Amino acid sequence: MTNSAGIPWDEIAQLASPWVSSTVIEEGDRLILKHAEDEKTAMTVVSFRGDGHTVGIGGRLTGVLLVETRLSWPEASDSDLMLAMLNAHAALGAAVLHDGGALNLFSRFSIYEQDGSSWRIFAPLVALSAATNIQVFGTSVSDATRSPRVWPQWPDRNSAWTEKELSDVALRLNSMGVVSFASKDGLTAEFPWEDGATSAASVLTGDRLRATTLLEMSNNAVHPLLGAGLLCTLQLPLPRNGTPRVVGHLNSSELGATNAPPSFGAWCANPRGGHPTYVSFLPNLMHGLGIEHNIAAWMLVRTQLAKRWLE
C-alpha cells in the first residue's frame, strides 16, 4: 500500500515487524506500531503531513513523515541538561520534552517529489527508527530512573563500512571544495561555519582562523544495542557553556522543520568535550545502500541550518 506521496507503508511495516508486537496501517497516512514491554504497551506512530506547496532544498516538498513515540519522563530540576545527556545515546532519533512533560522520541523525514527512488534508503531508515528508538532511549530512561532493563544484543561486532567506501565519500567532498580525509578507521571533513572558512589547519599557513564544523564517520564504533555500524557526528564550533539549552533548541527545530534533510539522530552534548554535536548511528543493516554519501551531503546542509536556527 502506498499513499499519494508514494510512501510504501506495507514495506515499512514489514521491515519493522521483527522488533514490534504489531503493525497497523490506518487510512493510508498513518502506521501504528505497538511495542510490548513490562505488561504495558507503548505505541509508535508514523504519520504523514502533506505539503505540496513549498519549494526547497530538495525540489518541491511533498510533505513530512514523522516517527513519534511518547513516554513518561521523570521530573528533573534541569531538564535541558538531562535531555542533552540522554541524547548522547541517540542512534536513529532524538528525545524532546512535549507539552505536558511527556518524553517525545522522534525521527523526521521531509519528502520531496523526486524522492521516489530514495525509498530504498528511507524505508529501512523509517522502519528502524520506528522499531528501535524506544529500545535505544528506553534503556537510557531506565538508567536515569535506576530501573534496569535488558534488551537483546545485535550479534555483529565489526562494521560493514570499508576504508574504500569512506575514501569515496572523502573524494566526492574534496571535489566540492570540502577538506576531507579518510582512513581505515573512518572519515573527517570540515564544513564552513564562518564565511570563507575551509579548515582549522589553515591557521598554520598564516590565515586567520575561521570556524568550521567537524564531521566524523567512525567505522570502529559499536552501539550497545544495535551492534556494529557507522557512527556519524557533526560538532559545532561553539563554547561548551550553554550547550544543554542550545541542543534543546536545535532538536526542537529539527522536529518542527519541513524543508530540511532527514533527521534520524539527535543534537547532544559531545561526551568528549561538551560541544553541541549531532549524532547518528547506522547499524550494519543500512550498509550497501550508499547512504554514507547522503549523510555527508545532509550534514553539510545541517551545518547551514543549525547556524540559521541559532541566529
Task: List the domains of the chain with CATH numbers.
Answer: 9-144 (3.30.1460), 163-310 (3.30.1460)
Q: What is the pTM of this model?
A: 0.88
Owner of C-alpha cell 574534496: 174
Considering the chain, what percentage of its residues have pLDDT values greater than 90?
42
175-193 as b/e: b if 16+ CB within 10 A: eeebbbebeeebbbbbbbb
Predicted confidence band at 191 (pLDDT cuts at 50, 70, 90)?
very high
301, pLDDT greater than 50? yes
Least confident of 105-119, 158-172, 176-190: 105-119
Average pLDDT of the residues in 146-166: 69
240, pLDDT greater than 60? yes
261, pLDDT greater than 50? yes
More confident call, 301 vs 115: 301
Q: pLDDT by residue (tens digit) across 123-144?
A: 999 999 998 888 887 665 554 4
Distance separating alpha carbons of residues 12 and 14, to the nearest angstrom: 5
Secondary element (H or E) of residue 84: helix 79-86
Q: pLDDT by residue (tens digit) across 17-29?
A: 888 888 888 766 7
Q: What rounded mean pLDDT belongs to the chain?
A: 82
Q: Do 2 and 8 contact (CB within 8 A), yes or no?
A: yes
Least confident of 33-37, 72-76, 128-132, 290-294: 72-76
* 278, 283, 289, 290 alpha-carbon torsion, rounded to 10°: 40
